Structure 1
């Protein structure tokens, strides 16, 4: 098993790095860091077989690129900033990108050779914006699939979750769910049955639990929970959110408090705080787990290190290795 970590390339990073996952249980650790893809700004990426599909920036252009065995295969670049997120459907060979700076959502196909083709895109307009300084424009930060096969975006600037249909050629807006003003809607995850979703609010450092009827596009605001202690009075931004496959534990990273908040999901979908565990570094944007969800790796962007944890039966995280050197990490992905 391997772990891929990529991120910004503003300082010493050369792109995407791969680690070997060695050992078992409490003896697990990461070894042999090596730069496997040289690319500018791979802040988010996905993998399908031999192909890595990554965000890329180069010479004032941004977009998405495919790499095979470390070599560039195809790219779709445009003037300006690169996207912030890449989703994937490996069966349909589709990629979904959200561009925080331009407000554009895009659907891109790829073929057996990794060639990329833009299928459609939509522009989020700069209207119905939130009250915070960070919400001066539309800022979609997430674009991916729903349990029912539709598409969903999170817009930090508009405090909104938007749902789309895609017929293979064209995107069509279907419905919206509105978070509270200043929530800073960033990422979401769906409960295993698809009848609830959990939204991470970057600007409010909160998680909103929402009951969801995808057939009739009905929403019910269930409850909202803080990802940071009440006593915390410094800057914080909630970032990545993940839900265990059994739907019993929810995890959110805190950039500022520099922690991962762990919640147990109760039968009525209320959340109970289990733990806030340090990431032993600064500004943890992303974290991820292996297929068994036994091990978790969090990347600290500002301190150029990652932390490895073992996940316990009660959902809590036990640190195993704290100072794994990796520059400017913002994306973590376990691979074969």
Structure 2
């Protein structure tokens, strides 16, 4: 049995002050109560590379990006505030770090060189575009613009110029996507439609399949949130708010099949995360304020019984630190 370390990104509120950390036992799913790790207000999303944790933050004098050194004895945050409102997503990309800002409709491209952090450029997609993520695909950035029903394509090699789009039907709302390891397939979750789309990702993007997650007329007003691909690339997992469901889909070549809908163990599931061995799934239920662990059958992909739940106020994102695994 081993114990994994994880981090939670949270909304800024009187109940939450930044990035929290927790542990989970891989065999039992037992969770520790998350404790404050670093004061980084409104750190809604987290990314990790080379012992550095990145988070969009919002302070009293603006918003921007914080880089937290995990190798230090105590966490130290390097912060650059260049935005008026806080971002909702962050991703490492070589020397660059990209943040997406839903409310401003922008992507900020930061650069880190010789430990100095600077704003390289800011890309605007229009007020109210609803930029919710940045996906890196070789020299191309994919930016889901949820309120515009499109994913914008950005060419990094052409000074971050716009280079086309993947268009969706009005009212679908592309929110987040995930690639397979070979970057041959792209899976996109549609927030408003509560559906998952698959695309071939060689020589451009071409539609392959789609699956609606909820029965027609059931759970009106529900919205999909997070999407995760299992390590063996056989299953997709999606959280659905409103209905408070977790969906499991089988990936069968270019086709998708809905296998399961099961309760999230709380109200308003945001992020979900799979343990590195795929035997646990964690769900952050924001409105009910808890982190819940579930057993996963790695053969069938199905989510099994609830294993543990702990308080986690305003939790939005979950990140495992695979480099820290302790024997129990």
In the TM superposition, 1:138-157 aligns within 5 A as: 138-146=129-137, 148-157=138-147
Of 80, 87, 96, which residue of structure 2 is paired with 1:83? 87
Higher relative contact order, structure no. (Cα contacts within 8 Å, ≥ 6 residues apart): 2
Moved over 6 A (4+): none
**Whole-angstrom CA distance in 2 between matches of 1:149 and 1:94:** 12
**Whole-angstrom CA distance in 2 between matches of 1:248 and 1:314:** 9
Please name the residue that 1:209 is paired with. Answer: 198
CA contact (8 A) 1:88 1:144 kept: no
- TM-score computed with the length of structure 1 as normaliser: 0.87
The answer for unaligned runs of 5 or more in structure 2 is none
Of 120, 143, 164, which residue of structure 2 is paired with 1:175? 164
Deviation at 1:33, TM superposition (A): 2.7
**Whole-angstrom CA distance in 2 between matches of 1:236 and 1:109:** 37
Please name the residue that 1:303 is paired with. Answer: 288
Please name the residue that 1:16 is paired with. Answer: 19
**Whole-angstrom CA distance in 2 between matches of 1:274 and 1:42:** 33
Count of aligned positions? 315
CA contact (8 A) 1:228 1:254 kept: no
**Whole-angstrom CA distance in 2 between matches of 1:187 and 1:50:** 25
In the TM superposition, 1:53-202 aligns within 5 A as: 53-59=54-60, 61-68=62-69, 69=72, 71-89=75-93, 92-111=94-113, 113=115, 115-126=116-127, 137-146=128-137, 148-167=138-157, 170-202=159-191
CA contact (8 A) 1:295 1:308 kept: yes
The answer for unaligned runs of 5 or more in structure 1 is 127-136
Alpha carbons of structure 1 residues 322 and 29: separation in structure 2 relative to 1, 3 Å: closer
- TM-score computed with the length of structure 2 as normaliser: 0.89
**What secondary structure sits across from 1:177 in the alignment?**
strand
> What's the C-alpha RMSD, in Å, of the aligned pairs?
2.0
In the TM superposition, 1:19-58 aligns within 5 A as: 19-22=22-25, 24-25=26-27, 27-58=28-59
**Whole-angstrom CA distance in 2 between matches of 1:189 and 1:79:** 26
Cα-to-partner distance string for 1:75-126 (whole Å, 9 max, x where unaligned): 221352111100113xx2321111111111122122464x422222211025
